[in-house]
Every structure is written in C-alpha cells, then in structure tokens.
A and B are shown apart, each in its own frame.
Chain A
Amino acid sequence: MRCSEVPFTVGHRTADESMAETQSCVLILETDILVRMSVAQYLRECGYTVIEGVQASDFNTLIESGRELHIVLADINLFGDVTGFELSRSIRQTHPNIDVILTSGVAGAAEQAHGLCEDGPIRKPYHPKDLEARIRILIEKRRNSKRS
C-alpha cells in the first residue's frame, strides 16, 4: 500500500507551508498491530510524522514529553481503562487545538459517537487513503482558521 497522494500537493502553497505540513504529527492509537503498522506506514509515506500507541495514557505521555501533536487517530476500543470515546471527549476539552478521528469496527459506533466528531468515526475496514483525506481536511481547516 503506497501513499497515492502527497498531502502537500493540494492547493497553492508556498515552500514554507509545504515544510510545515511534512511535520504534521499524528498519534495513532490502535490495538491491532496489523492495522496499526499498515496505516502508520501509509501515513509516513504521505509525509506525516506518526507515533504509535495502544492506550489513552500514551496520549498523556506524549503531551507531557512536549512533542507538538496535531491529530489523534484513535480506535474506540483501546487497551487500558479509557475508551477512544472517553479520550476523544477529554482531548476536546483539554486540548481543543488537537483534532481527533475515531475509528471503529463496532456496529452502532457512529450513533454512540454522535457529537464527538463532526463526521462520526471511520468504520473498519477503511482504506488509509480515506483516512489520509480526512486528516488533510482537518489540517487544512486549522490552517485556514489561523489565517482568518
């Protein structure tokens, strides 16, 4: 699975903006290694910095380390006591500058996630290309809101 589109070819950007985009940092929280490794590899090929975790506390550890984070891609079911839903809600309150995309293999998750994210969770099986498109839209929205 290769990255089909490079994120920084969209629209009209300056070289500086392209550089900024290559540094967009994504935390993927996913307990299935085969899903995690293939999605992470795809996103890395697209130019993102990808950090891999399996539980909500990994998000806290990352934040405490001081690393700048832009997107959290979290499955609804995680290791540990905190679900992807709960983590998403918490991030919205404490880190409104970080976007969360939920993923789920569970039927009915879209209804449960109502109000947590605009477009609802991405249902498995999904193609990383669709995921990357959503990440790109979120980053684009942030960039535009900074400009205006």
Chain B
Amino acid sequence: MDPLVSDEHGAKPRRKLILIVEGDFLARWTAAEYLRETGFDVIEAVNSAEAVAALRAGSAFDAVFGDLTSMSDIAGPELLDWLEKRPALPVILVADSSGHSPTQPAMQKRSSIAKPYAMNEVEQRLHALWDAR
C-alpha cells in the first residue's frame, strides 16, 4: 500500500497528508507517530478550532482521522460544516465510549471506528476509503 499520491501533470509524487484531530496527547502522539513512520505526512490538531485553522491554511488533506469526543470544544460547527461540504474526503471518526457514532448529520455517513482501535486497522481503513473513490 503506497502512501504516496501523484499530483497532476506528472509532478513528483508527494506523501499523502492526513489531519489528525485528537484532544488526548497520548492517543494523538501514538497515532501521528505511527502514520509518519508508515510514510504519511501528518498535521496534528488538538481540537476542532485548530482543525479549522489547519484546513483554512490551505493544505490539501487526503484524509481526516479524528476523535471528536476527545476534544474540549466537541467538534465545533465550523469543522462539521467544512466536512459536510466535502463528502468525498475520506474521514474516519472514533466512536464514543458507548460505541455510538457521532450523531451530527455531517458525521453519520462517515466511517467510524470503535475504541480500542489499532493503528494498523486505521491505516487499512484509510486505504479502503481511498480505493473506493
């Protein structure tokens, strides 16, 4: 499975860029380190306000992996709105401890994963989402 993505016009392939949105330091660090070692570029956001700032900064994200239940500002409306407008963007959300997926309409159609999850499982899910496009 190749973490590289080819740009248009035959430009040099770049690494796929993943936005991690996770409020828990240990979970975020573990996930980010795994994905970097696997060959991805990773941007780490600690809450939805940071995620929106990163998205606005103009980076072309290839996927979002987020635990929206772990954040102090529980998925702000701006982040939900941004994701809703991009239904084709692969997003994997961590389900809350009760096993329920996020209830916001923007999130219901997204792929969700239950805790405890293994990062290789997340990686496989990401590849499956990219392949399905």
Interface residues of A (CB under 8 A from B): 33-34, 36-37, 44, 51-55, 57-58, 61-62, 65, 79
Contacts and interface: CB of A to CB of B under 8 A. Distances in A.
Nearest to A36: B44
Count class of interface residues, chain B: 10 to 19
Could you tell me the dominant secondary structure of chain B's interface residues? helix
Contact of B57 (A34, A44, A79): A34
Contacts of A54: 25, 46
B29 A33 contact: no
B26 A33 contact: no
Contacts of B57: 34
Interface in B34-52: 36, 43-46, 50
Interface of B: 25-26, 28-29, 32-33, 36, 43-46, 50, 53-54, 57
Given A33-B45, A37-B43, A53 B53 contact: no
Nearest to B43: A37
B32 A52 contact: yes
B53 A33 contact: yes
A38 to B, nearest CB: 9
Contacts of A37: 43-44, 54
Given A52-B32, A52-B44, A33 B25 contact: no
A86 to B, nearest CB: 18
